[in-house]
Structure 1
Amino acid sequence: MHVVAVLALDTVIPFDLSTPIEVFSRTRLPDGRPAYRVRICGATPTVDAGAFTLQPPWGLDGLHDADTIILPGRADLDAPIPDEVLDALRQAAANGTRIASICAGAFTLAATGLLDGLRATTHWVATSLLADRYPAVDVDPDVLYVDNGQLLTSAGAAAGLDLCLHLIRHDHGSAVAADAARLSVMPLEREGGQAQFIVHDQPPTPRGSALEPVLRWMQDNAGKDLTLDDIAAHAGMSARTLNRRFREQTGTTPLQWLLRSRIRQAQYLLEATDHPVDRIATQVGFGSPTAFRDRFKRIVGTSPQTYRTAFRRTRH
C-alpha cells in the first residue's frame, strides 16, 4: 500500500496538516480498500501547532520507507529547520521518494536545496519572500500547484486539496480521484490560478504628491475612453513627463495603472451586481467585451464569469 508521511514541525499550520491526512485517509480504491496508509511524523516528541500541541506517532524514521512525503506550511517562516530534517528529506529524495509541499511548506522544501533550478509556488502572500530567500528557485505566483515529477509545491489553503487530488489521480486514475473530490466537496480541477484570489488593488496613491489629484481623477473616469494625451492634459504636463513621474511614484505607466483600476472595478461589479458581463465591460471602459475578457483573464487568471461564480456575494 502507498505510504504517505505527513511531516509536522513546530508552528505547523493545522489546516495544512489536516488536509492531506483527511484526503488520503478517506480515499478508497474501486474495490473499497484504502488507497493509502497515512503517517504523521515529527522531528520532536511534541509539536507546537499554535492552538494545540500534538504528539506524532512517528519520528523521522517514518520517512524512510514512505512513498510520498507531505510538507505542511509553518506559521513562523523564520523558525529554524533542524538539520536532521533537511538531511532526512535530501536522503528521501535521493531514494526516489516523492515530496510535496502545501502552502508555506515550500520554504522547508526549498531549504533542502532540492528546488534549486526548478519551478515552484507557495501562498501568494509569501511568493516574493520565497523568491528573495531562495533565488535559485523559479517562483511562480500565479498557479495553484507545480508538478516537477518527484517534487511538487502548492499554493495556500484549498490549493493543498488541489494538489492532493492531483496526486491521487496520478497514482490511481481519474475515477478514484473524482470520488475523493466528491468526498471533499471539491471540483477535481479548478479553472484559473492564484491570481483570481489576489485582491488587485491599485498601487498606493502617493499622499500629498503632485500625482494624487490625477490618480483620483483617473479612477473616477476609468469608464471613459481615456488616452495618454487626455491624462497628460488633465495633469497639466507632457505625456513624457507624466510617464516619468508615474514610473517614479507608482512603479507603472499611466495606462497600466488605468487598466488595473478598470479590472478592479470590474471585479467589484461581478461580485456585487447582476449586470451582464458585456455591460460591465462597457461600464469599466473597455471598447469591446472580447478585449475585456482577454484582459481580465490575463490579469486575474480566470474568466469574468468563472470569477463571478466563485466570488459572487450572497444577498440577504
Structure 2
Amino acid sequence: MASSNRKKLRIGVMLESVQLSDIMGIDILGNLSSQYMAQVKSFEPSWFVNHEPHAVDMEFFFIATTLEPGFMTPGLHFVPTVTYDDCPRDLDIIVVGGPAISHRPEQADRFMKEAWGKTRVWLTTCVGSMWLASTGLVDGMRCTTNREGLELARRLHPKVDWVDQRWVVEEKVFEGDGKGELWTAGGAGAGIHMIATYCLENFNKEFVNTLALRPLEFRLDGNASQFYLD
C-alpha cells in the first residue's frame, strides 16, 4: 500500500531492562519508514524510485518508567522518549522485549492494561510474553515464550495456553477498525523471524526484502517457520 494511503504508523517499544537482542526486529520496521528512505535514496536515487511509494511515515515511542537513562543488556543505557504514564494508548503496534522476571513496574502494568484494547497489534519476544501475561490480559489465549522458559511460564501463569512454537499468532480484542492481533515469539532469533514475517504479510514484499531483509542480512532461507524442527 502506498504511503499516501497510510496514516503515520506509531510504534511503541517497551525497552526498560529488556534483552537488547529481543527488540532488534524493530530495525526491520524502521527500514520501511519514509524517514529511512529519505536517508538512503540520496546515495542512489534511481534504485529507490520504485520503492519510495511503499515507504511509511513512522513514529517510534521508546518507553520506560522515567525519562532518565534506562538499562538494557549487556550494560547499555538508552534515553527514553516517553514514560508509561505519558505514552499514547492508541498506538498501531507495541513491541515488548524480554525483561528480568522481577521487572514489573506498576506504570508498565497500567500502560499495558490501558493500551491493550486500543492498540491493534502487539509483538512480544522471549519472556516479554510473560511480562504481558502478568497483567492477566492473555488468560485463555495461546502464547509462547523462550523455549527454555516454557515450564516457568506455565507455573507462573497457568491460565495462559503456553505452546512450544517459535511464534504464535492470536486474535485479540481491539476497539478500533480491523482485527486485533497478538504475535508472541520464543527467543530473540525467533522474534526477528516473527517480525520479518509480520512485515512481509503487511507491507509490499519486494519493498521489505529490498529495504530491510537483504540489507540487514536477516536471512529467511533456514528455519523461518513458526515451528521448531525438533
Q: Counterpart in 2 of 1:182?
A: 214
Is the contact made by 2:91 and 2:119 (CA closer than 8 Å) also made in structure 1? no
TM-score normalised to structure 2 length = 0.74
Question: Compared with structure 1, are the counterparts of its residues 23 and 192 closer, same or farther at alpha carbon in structure 2 (3 Å cutoff)?
Answer: closer
Q: Counterpart in 2 of 1:2?
A: 9
1:66 corresponds to which of 91, 95, 111: 91
Is the contact made by 1:21 and 1:38 (CA closer than 8 Å) also made in structure 2? no
For the residues of structure 2 that align with 1:194 and 1:170, how far apart are their CA atoms? 18
1:65 positional shift:
3.5
For the residues of structure 2 that align with 1:3 and 1:187, how far apart are their CA atoms? 26
Q: Over residues 102-134 of structure 1, what are the superposed CA-to-partner deviations in whole Å (9 max), with x where a residue is unaligned?
A: 111111111121211111111111111111111
Root-mean-square deviation over aligned CA pairs: 2.2
Superposition pairs for residues 238-253 of structure 1, below 5 Å? none
For the residues of structure 2 that align with 1:193 and 1:94, how far apart are their CA atoms? 25
1:187 positional shift:
3.5
2:61 corresponds to which of 39, 42, 45: 39
Q: Counterpart in 2 of 1:120?
A: 143
2:187 corresponds to which of 145, 148, 156: 156
Q: Does 1:26 align with 2:31?
A: yes
For the residues of structure 2 that align with 1:7 and 1:97, how far apart are their CA atoms? 16
Q: Counterpart in 1 of 2:37?
A: none
Superposition pairs for residues 205-244 of structure 1, below 5 Å? none
Question: Compared with structure 1, are the counterparts of its residues 165 and 63 closer, same or farther at alpha carbon in structure 2 (3 Å cutoff)?
Answer: farther
Question: Compared with structure 1, are the counterparts of its residues 88 and 97 closer, same or farther at alpha carbon in structure 2 (3 Å cutoff)?
Answer: farther
Q: Does 1:105 align with 2:128?
A: yes
1:146 positional shift:
0.8
1:175 positional shift:
2.8
| Structure with the higher helix share, 1 or 2 | 1
For the residues of structure 2 that align with 1:193 and 1:125, how far apart are their CA atoms? 16
1:38 positional shift:
2.2
Q: Which has the higher contact order (CA 8 A, sep 6+)?
A: 2
- In structure 1, runs of 5+ residues without a counterpart are 197-299, 301-316
Q: Over residues 122-164 of structure 1, what are the superposed CA-to-partner deviations in whole Å (9 max), with x where a residue is unaligned?
A: 11111111111111111112x2211113211011111111121
Q: Does 1:56 align with 2:56?
A: no
For the residues of structure 2 that align with 1:7 and 1:108, how far apart are their CA atoms? 11
Which structure: larger Rg? 1
Q: Over residues 206-257 of structure 1, what are the superposed CA-to-partner deviations in whole Å (9 max), with x where a residue is unaligned?
A: xxxxxxxxxxxxxxxxxxxxxxxxxxxxxxxxxxxxxxxxxxxxxxxxxxxx
Q: Counterpart in 1 of 2:40?
A: none
TM-score normalised to structure 1 length = 0.55
For the residues of structure 2 that align with 1:64 and 1:37, how far apart are their CA atoms? 14
1:72 maps to a residue whose letter is G
1:173 positional shift:
3.7
1:87 positional shift:
1.8
For the residues of structure 1 that align with 2:192 and 2:88, how far apart are their CA atoms? 22
Q: Does 1:14 align with 2:20?
A: yes
1:177 maps to a residue whose letter is V
1:188 positional shift:
4.3
Q: Does 1:171 align with 2:175?
A: no
Q: Counterpart in 2 of 1:140?
A: 163
For the residues of structure 2 that align with 1:168 and 1:72, how far apart are their CA atoms? 18
1:194 positional shift:
6.0
Is the contact made by 1:20 and 1:70 (CA closer than 8 Å) also made in structure 2? no
Q: What is the total number of aligned residue pairs between the two structures?
A: 192
For the residues of structure 1 that align with 2:98 and 2:106, how far apart are their CA atoms? 18
| Structure with the higher strand share, 1 or 2 | 2
2:26 maps to a residue whose letter is I
For the residues of structure 1 that align with 2:56 and 2:202, how far apart are their CA atoms? 13
Question: Compared with structure 1, are the counterparts of its residues 25 and 191 closer, same or farther at alpha carbon in structure 2 (3 Å cutoff)?
Answer: closer
